Amino acid sequence: MEIIGYFASALIGVSLGLIGGGGSILTVPVLVYLFGVDPVLATAYSLFIVGSTSLVGSFPKYRDGMVNLKTAVIFGVPAILAVYATRAFLVPMIPDPVFSLGSFIVSKAMFMMGIFAILMVFASYSMIRDRKNGSKEKEPEGPQKFNYPMILMEGAVVGILTGLVGAGGGFLIIPALVLFSKLPMKQAVGTSLLIIAAKSLIGFTGDLSHYEMDWTLLGTVTALAIVGIFIGNQLSRKVDGDKLKKAFGWFVLVMGIYILIKELYLNPAAAALGH
């Protein structure tokens, strides 16, 4: 299983390089099901892996003029504050078990994986759906305008979700940058990588006082994901990103449904508690 886990670690980066997102949605399932990491700890590991990989991936985008620094700061500040507060204060406050319905008890780990699976289903929809009339995003005309209230609110929501489940949230950030910051799609993808890197890595620091980290595993998975993002960047110049995004969306949908079923019906602890 570990060998499969190392291969899947590289796929995290490949996905980020190919379609600008989606790879982070793989990280927690890879850590939990292939490396046997506790789900709550896996969300912390995911922040470091996704943040480091996105930071490396943002450099070539910045070099090519595909990162808007002003937008990254305006969107990133509320997201960073929200994710740090979530990891440092909110996640440790979640009780274990979270709640019970009769003899069925929902543990903290089951609760976190359930939220993650639901997020995967929503993420898959954003990747699978067709754009209206099959048209591509239009380049914005005139000077860039910011919808500050919506940017601040979206940044905070993305930060809280990132803090809870350890996913980068690119599928939420990219549409928000296009709609509320009027960025072209390619620039939105590059800017999203920088925002994901900043909020994930700073959010990870909120976990350092709560968990003992396996730095060997963390470093190995991160290194493989970084190798993957370079491969993905090269492939993105030769492969139709829209088709890949849709195929990856279906994969994420299947994974999300599988995790929900596994946690609710196949989880040994839940089964034992149900009797």
251-262 residue pLDDT tens: 878 888 888 888
pLDDT 10s digits, 64-92 = 888 999 889 988 899 889 988 888 888 88
pLDDT 10s digits, 199-226 = 888 888 888 878 888 999 999 999 999 9
pLDDT band at 267 (very low <50, low <70, confident <90, very high): low
Q: Would you say residue 185 has pLDDT above 80?
A: no
pLDDT 10s digits, 127-179 = 787 655 444 445 555 566 677 788 888 888 888 888 887 766 777 787 778 77
Q: Which residues of 22-42 are buried (b: 16+ CB within 10 A; e: fewer)?
A: bbbbbbbbbbbbbbebebbbb
| Best CA proximity match to 16, nearest among 238, 161, 230 | 230
Q: Would you say residue 275 has pLDDT above 50?
A: no
Q: What is the pLDDT of residue 226?
A: 92
**Mean pLDDT, residues 23-49 taken together:** 86
pLDDT band at 273 (very low <50, low <70, confident <90, very high): very low
- Quick one: 102 exposed, middle or buried, by C-beta within 10 A (0-12, 13-18, 19+)? exposed
Comparing 90-94, 97-101, 193-197, 236-240, the range with the smallest average pLDDT is: 236-240
